[in-house]
Structure 1
């Protein structure tokens, strides 16, 4: 290795005794140059410890291999699991995924979209904030960049949407809980961060009406994405005030349910489906930790693999079709009820 400083690809080509187009061709596709040339370039890379600026390279291409992935809150295990599979699928296809986390902030979400424009991505997979998103900004972005939405559906935006069927989540949990015990109340944030929560509330009301039971919503204060703490504080208040009209509680999502279980432990309220238990608790999502709570959490699970695979497959179809589809498509995957000890 030498201490010679190489600023750009032109410097590297000159010091290697090769033409700039040949070096560029190698970085675009190493197999496109002769084996002897490839060996010469790779020896020079080792000697001078040079790595090209992939962003500068991409500015000279009509279509890059960059794929943007945007999620609202990466600390949420749902998004972490979805992204883990999406990134792997993109890499296997020879694409370069770039992950962005909007951290629940609408302004930051817009900044990310502006950054993505500069990367000239082949396509973008966007899980928008939803209710808080600047829909005009996203609409403008989708017109400029081939975009597939996932998780949160903003009607008519993007070329396609892939997500889970929230109605199937709630219909399964409500049917099971009413069949095996008292009908459930619905435990949710008064101002939910994710629009899927609203769909789940409406599905709960519809399902309870269909089964002939009176819906009972227990809304709790809190905003943002710290669902466990919001759920814990809200459940403590609900337990003290006797806000639960039933001994069965259905939570909007598993992270709220984990907070509720913590509150029950603090208050000495035993949770489970045995005769000596005071409360049954069920939820939605199948959070990776839900099987390890005490008691383990009954929940309706996303089909993580199917959603991830379909998101990437739709993106590939979009890229191959030149960035536009004949019409906007929507693909929803049903949930799967997982019965554990909490209900």
Structure 2
């Protein structure tokens, strides 16, 4: 028998070389895993003299079935798509998910977390506002409640972060636009609401430098989450003043791109790949409405299913590990380029 003290299921899984979900499955029902896997687990149990806190596990299952899901802005279809998938996974696993929206308000975000703390949930999946968040309050909450961040990251907070690889988004769109026509300018808000926007700007500059091209960043005024209207107003001003440095535009996100397409339509600019078109427009996210814009929007798509599923799986693993991982985990999923008529 080893003298190493194993504190929780996550540590036991690590030293035994067996995944946490499989170990958890064994403790729920030893006959639910393969005979060879069961033998490995039982050998490791004997070696490390580990026994799970069955009382705590049962408490989690019988008394704390609540899962909190917090998003920054429920009216944003990107978050609605993530939340829909997460809710379904939680319900199918026997938990009771409750969905909250901060509506872009950092004070409301803190109030939501305070209310969740009083409900003593089994765990929380949090997509924070990011730059606008009260990080001290979120840090305090993460110490009290098993929390996994998704979509928008705040470095070091929560036991894990699950999201999309922003460089993957931008590198694919820049490479495609450059290969098929004029290099793109980057269209964004001067004060972005979501932290992913900053990562996408950095990725655009890096890709343009890598290709030996001059980056052109178009920043428009506007704050908050009304991206379509902000994009429309900013694009009208840019187009009327003839301030476009190139005839290819890469938007920071699809909602800004929808606003830009509206401005183009209003001013008579033809967008697309044809010889009679004035502009090519591409973007990032694959907003659920992106295929229905006119023209349909070329974009780099989130892997919604993978981000949502892994977020839920990670939270379940965290709950079964006693609410703490040995090291903070980060998982990023690449995007995929979706070619449509706008570029």
Q: Tell me if both proteins adopt one fold, taking TM over 0.5 as the criterion.
A: yes
1:93 corresponds to: 93
Q: Give 3-state SS (helix, strand or coil) of 2:157's partner.
A: coil
Q: Deviations over 1:296-342 (max 9, x none)?
A: 00000000000000000000100111111111000000000000000
* 1:220 equivalenced with 2:220 (yes/no): yes
2:172 corresponds to: 172
- Quote the offset at 1:62 in angstroms: 9.0
Q: Give 3-state SS (helix, strand or coil) of 1:188's partner.
A: strand
Q: Relative contact order (alpha carbons < 8 A, sep ≥ 6): 1 or 2 greater?
A: 2
Distance 1:228 1:60, change over 3 A: closer
- Quote the offset at 1:242 in angstroms: 1.6
Which runs of structure 1 show a deviation greater than 4 angstroms over 4 or more consecutive aligned residues?
59-63
CA–CA separation in structure 2 for the residues paired with 1:66 and 1:193:
29
Q: Give 3-state SS (helix, strand or coil) of 2:244's partner.
A: coil
Q: Give 3-state SS (helix, strand or coil) of 2:136's partner.
A: helix
1:132 corresponds to: 132
* 1:244 equivalenced with 2:244 (yes/no): yes
- Quote the offset at 1:241 in angstroms: 1.3
2:72 corresponds to: 72
CA–CA separation in structure 1 for the residues paired with 2:84 and 2:158:
22
Q: Deviations over 1:171-210 (max 9, x none)?
A: 0000000000000000000000001000000000000000
2:150 corresponds to: 150
CA–CA separation in structure 2 for the residues paired with 1:300 and 1:122:
34
Which runs of no fewer than 5 residues in structure 2 stay unpaired? 1-58
CA–CA separation in structure 2 for the residues paired with 1:61 and 1:231:
46
Which runs of no fewer than 5 residues in structure 1 stay unpaired? 1-58
1:14 corresponds to: none
2:313 corresponds to: 313
CA–CA separation in structure 2 for the residues paired with 1:116 and 1:318:
17
CA–CA separation in structure 2 for the residues paired with 1:63 and 1:137:
26
Q: TM-score, normalised by structure 1?
A: 0.82
CA–CA separation in structure 2 for the residues paired with 1:61 and 1:167:
39
2:304 corresponds to: 304
- Quote the offset at 1:120 in angstroms: 0.3
CA–CA separation in structure 2 for the residues paired with 1:139 and 1:307:
22
CA–CA separation in structure 1 for the residues paired with 2:205 and 2:133:
26
Contact 2:126 2:147 survives alignment (8 Å): yes
- Quote the offset at 1:63 in angstroms: 4.8
Q: Deviations over 1:235-260 (max 9, x none)?
A: 00000112210000000000000000
Q: Give 3-state SS (helix, strand or coil) of 1:276's partner.
A: coil
Distance 1:321 1:180, change over 3 A: same
Contact 2:60 2:122 survives alignment (8 Å): no
Q: Give 3-state SS (helix, strand or coil) of 2:307's partner.
A: helix
Q: Deviations over 1:60-88 (max 9, x none)?
A: 99951110000000000010010001001
1:117 corresponds to: 117
Q: TM-score, normalised by structure 2?
A: 0.82
CA–CA separation in structure 1 for the residues paired with 2:244 and 2:331:
36
Contact 2:231 2:260 survives alignment (8 Å): yes
CA–CA separation in structure 1 for the residues paired with 2:342 and 2:215:
21
CA–CA separation in structure 1 for the residues paired with 2:304 and 2:201:
22
CA–CA separation in structure 1 for the residues paired with 2:122 and 2:244:
50
CA–CA separation in structure 1 for the residues paired with 2:242 and 2:167:
28
